[in-house]
Structure 1
């Protein structure tokens, strides 16, 4: 039976190989706790669901679509500045904006492909 190849660690500049299905080597796994914690453990539990629902009811249109002259319903509350686990930044409503799924996926993909690390 064939064995899956090892793949490079996803941490920028790390040459270590990890088993297929894993993203980070043992050294860098601790730097990426978001990969192993549930959404609720990352702060997106019941309290967030209620707050984000109320925010979207008050702000129903995607701000990026509005800039393009389109009226599209917002379905995601986006953190303008990624909170990276900082509860103060996570709950700061001035750091929230309504986005449609398409715009949120584009923004998040761009940020997650080139994350900022603080050592």
Structure 2
């Protein structure tokens, strides 16, 4: 199996092998991570960790229709930013396997949301 050819990075400063990030992308991500508040400051403290663990024990399968894989992530139906008073409410939670959670998050918070996809 052959790999795709190298590509020019989005910044236009480097040619990088397929699947490798350029140094400017690595630095951009590091800067964004430094600027982001810690998980505990974003509401994911010890109380959340305990609640998450007990929720996954109670709802061990992914809640995506037709998936049924073991759940690894707990998602807030209404985001903590929208409804901080529902942060620890079981009625505002659902379990997802990691791939389904990533797809859901991309659709509702990331790239796809910004483009109306």
Give the structure-1-normalised TM-score.
0.61
- For 2:54, the equivalent position in structure 1 comes to 54
Provide the aligned C-alpha RMSD in A: 2.1
- 1:38 pairs with 2:4: no
Task: Map 1:5-84 onto structure 2 (within 5 A).
Answer: 21=28, 36-64=36-64, 67-68=65-66, 70-84=67-81
In 1, distance between residues paired with 2:82 and 2:39? 12
Which residue of 92, 106, 111 corresponds with 1:109? 106
Would you identify which runs of 4 or more consecutive aligned residues in structure 1 move more than 3 Å? none
Structure 1 unaligned segments of length 5 or more: list them. 6-19, 24-34
Q: Secondary structure at the match of 2:87?
A: helix
- For 2:96, the equivalent position in structure 1 comes to 99
Give the structure-2-normalised TM-score.
0.62
Is the Cα contact below 8 Å between 2:75 and 2:94 reproduced in 1? yes
The alignment covers a number of residue pairs equal to 83
Q: In the superposition, relative to structure 1, how do residues 43 and 84 fare at CA in structure 2: closer, same or farther (>3 Å)?
A: same
Q: Secondary structure at the match of 1:63?
A: coil
Deviation of the 1:36 alpha carbon: 2.0
Structure 2 unaligned segments of length 5 or more: list them. 1-10, 12-26
